[in-house]
Amino acid sequence: MHIANEDDGSVPIRGGVELPARREDIELRTGDGLTLVGELALPLDAEPVATLVTLHPLPTGGGFMDSHILRKAAARLPALADLAVLRFNTRGTHSPRGTSEGRFDEGVGERYDVAAAMQFVAERHLPHPWLVGWSFGTELALKYGLEHPIDGAILLSPPLHRTTDAELAAWSGFGGPLVAVIPEFDDYLRPPEARERFAAVPNARLVEVAGGRHLWVGENLTRRVLTEIVSVVNPGALPLPTEYTG
């Protein structure tokens, strides 16, 4: 728990601090009949300028909607960057929010999960949707993102295990930004290999993070990742403050 500064009422923005936002528990209904649980976080006193549709890491490896980068994006970015943040558990995934119906399907049935999230965005008239995938979530973004009206996609630690060469190359015809944030010491895809794989997508922008690792542990790396997201989606909100008063 973070304690407000006695002099000016400011709260250091780090760790698990949660800034003010309108937060709503939601359910998504998939085309194959499953109910997925999630949360929508909106700016407290303003309409969002854009929407982050987040896709979490591998559930069989402990990934879920509360994986720390996605949780901190929802905790901070509605207040700091006027962004809507949609998080949800893909099929069969459990978190404190609850358990989504179904079973993990190796990224195949999860196509319906991405579609359900995008349908929710459309129904709620949330503006300028961006897919933000982390690890396994980047595979879902790359496989299925082009099926939906999105402004762009941001890939955090993409392993490129399940994404075929053809699926990756298809993004060369995408008119919006495709940004891949690559940790120097990633467990699966490091910058030299990433440059080789993403050569099939000349319009992709690779951001290589010195000292970064797959899980982005530590406040400095968390802040770097959130900064990279905001620099693409709402650059006018930069630099992100390190303290919050409100």
Q: What is the CATH number of the domain that holds 231?
A: 3.40.50.1820
123 burial via Cβ count (<10 Å: 0-12, 13-18, 19+):
exposed
- Answer yes or no: is 21 within a domain: no
Instruction: Summarize pLDDT for 92-141 with one digit per residue, the tens.
Output: 999 999 999 999 999 999 999 999 999 999 999 999 999 999 999 999 99
- Answer yes or no: is 164 within a domain: yes
User: Given a cut of 80, is residue 66 above it in pLDDT?
Assistant: yes
What span, in angstroms and rounded, lies between the C-alpha atoms of 144 and 136? 13
- Answer yes or no: is 135 within a domain: yes
- Answer yes or no: is 15 within a domain: no
Range of the domain at 44: 28-235
pLDDT at position 96 is 96
Report how many domains make up the chain: 1
Q: Which helix (H) or strand (E) holds 24?
A: strand 22-29
- Answer yes or no: is 211 within a domain: yes
For residue 123, give Cα distances in angstroms to 28, 57, 96, 118, 119.
Answer: 11, 26, 26, 9, 6
- Answer yes or no: is 78 within a domain: yes
pLDDT at position 2 is 40
Instruction: Summarize pLDDT for 154-203 with one digit per residue, the tens.
Output: 999 999 999 999 999 999 999 999 999 999 999 999 999 999 999 999 99
Mean pLDDT of 17-34: 98
Q: Global pTM?
A: 0.95
What span, in angstroms and rounded, lies between the C-alpha atoms of 92 and 102? 5
What do you get for the CA distance between the two ends of the chain, in Å?
17
pLDDT at position 123 is 98
What span, in angstroms and rounded, lies between the C-alpha atoms of 73 and 134? 12
